[in-house]
């Protein structure tokens, strides 16, 4: 199957499949975000998810796919560093500011920087219309963050730190998207890269979460957290795996932009499933985000 996937890269069929993978990743990421929304300490939540990722990924990496060659192993070592930095900034951002403020800032910054990085490193070219689409999408997401911010009780020093960490997280989204795209393209077998990626990049946060849990004065019940972590790990395979396959088959920048329609899916989940109010302003911004994604996809 890996050879078949690779054979589609750069073809019209591959581009269509890349779009499907990117949108599938967006939906999964919205569910992933809703799963983490404010229920538990962000360090514990990420530790539970990564712990299950190790459990699920180890058998696949060790016994079901070819082992990575030296070049792929070196790239995976770099991925450990990049993704640890991303997870660290996200935990710090969620610690300082509300999820509904942090999440759009990260997702709005990421695609803009990714498109610029893809232009530089992969020589991808985008039309003026596509750049307008990127501006609509990123601008809509960032305006959504401002809209959510207006409803928060503000602790200004904490908010400033949270937004700084969120901006750093958005830049790291662009870095890991570009880096992972390079990694999966360089690997002889894309499923080898995926399986080992999920295995080795998930080894760090379970240790940090365990240390944090032991220092807590009021330790949460672990049962529900473990169930949440298991669901999050399964969704992460679809979300991160989907976008990486999309960057293998199509343009890195387009995949990154389409994935950020997760903000629209997240709002729809909040509206229809969680019973949250959307209102005309949020509805307009959601439409702007979706319109931006359509412009990027159709404007090439």
Residue 268 pLDDT: 78
Q: CA-CA distance, 132 to 296, in Å (whole number)?
A: 8
Average pLDDT over residues 139-155: 75
Residue 213 corresponds to which tokens in the numbers above? Answer: 């849990």
Tokens 């929304």 label which residue?
37
pLDDT band at 276 (very low <50, low <70, confident <90, very high): low
Q: Which residue has the higher pLDDT, 202 or 283?
A: 202
Residue 2 has pLDDT above 80, yes or no: no
Q: CA-CA distance, 204 to 174, in Å (whole number)?
A: 21
pLDDT tens string 50-88:
999 999 999 999 999 999 999 999 999 999 999 999 999
Least confident window among 11-25, 190-204, 206-220, 264-278:
264-278
Domain ranges of the chain: 2-298
Tokens 């940090």 label which residue?
208
pTM: 0.87
Contact 174, 114 (CB under 8 A): yes
Residue 293 pLDDT: 86
> DSSP class of residue 136?
H
Q: Which residue has the higher pLDDT, 214 or 160?
A: 214
pLDDT tens string 103-126:
788 878 888 888 888 888 888 888
Residue 36 has pLDDT above 70, yes or no: no
């Amino acid at each position: 199957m890996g050879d078949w996937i690779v054979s589609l890269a750069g073809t019209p069929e591959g581009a269509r499949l890349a779009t499907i993978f990117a949108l599938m990743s967006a939906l999964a990421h919205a569910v992933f975000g809703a799963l983490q929304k404010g229920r538990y300490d962000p360090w514990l939540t990420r530790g539970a998810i990564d712990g299950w990722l190790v459990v699920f990924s180890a058998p696949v990496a060790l016994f079901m796919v070819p082992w990575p060659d030296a070049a792929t192993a070196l790239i995976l070592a770099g991925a450990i560093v990049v993704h640890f930095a991303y997870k660290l900034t996200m935990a710090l951002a969620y610690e300082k500011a509300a999820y509904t403020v942090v999440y759009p800032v990260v997702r709005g910054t990421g695609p803009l920087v990714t498109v610029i990085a893809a232009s530089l490193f992969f020589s991808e070219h985008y039309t003026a219309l596509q750049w307008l689409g990127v501006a609509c999408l990123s601008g809509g997401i960032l305006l959504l963050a401002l809209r959510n911010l207006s409803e928060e009780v503000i602790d200004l020093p904490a908010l400033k730190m949270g937004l700084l960490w969120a901006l750093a997280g958005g830049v790291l989204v662009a870095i890991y998207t570009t880096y992972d795209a390079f990694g999966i393209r360089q690997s002889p077998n894309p499923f080898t890269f995926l399986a080992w990626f999920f295995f080795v990049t998930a080894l760090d946060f379970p240790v940090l979460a365990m240390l944090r849990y032991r220092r807590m004065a009021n330790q949460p019940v672990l049962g529900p957290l473990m169930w949440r972590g298991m669901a999050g790990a399964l969704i992460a395979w679809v979300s991160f795996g989907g976008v990486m396959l999309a960057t293998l088959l199509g343009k890195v920048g387009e995949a990154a932009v389409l994935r950020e329609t997760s903000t629209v899916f997240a709002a729809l989940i909040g509206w229809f499933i969680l019973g949250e109010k959307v209102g005309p302003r949020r509805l307009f911004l959601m439409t702007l985000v979706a319109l931006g994604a359509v412009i990027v996809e159709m404007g090439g």
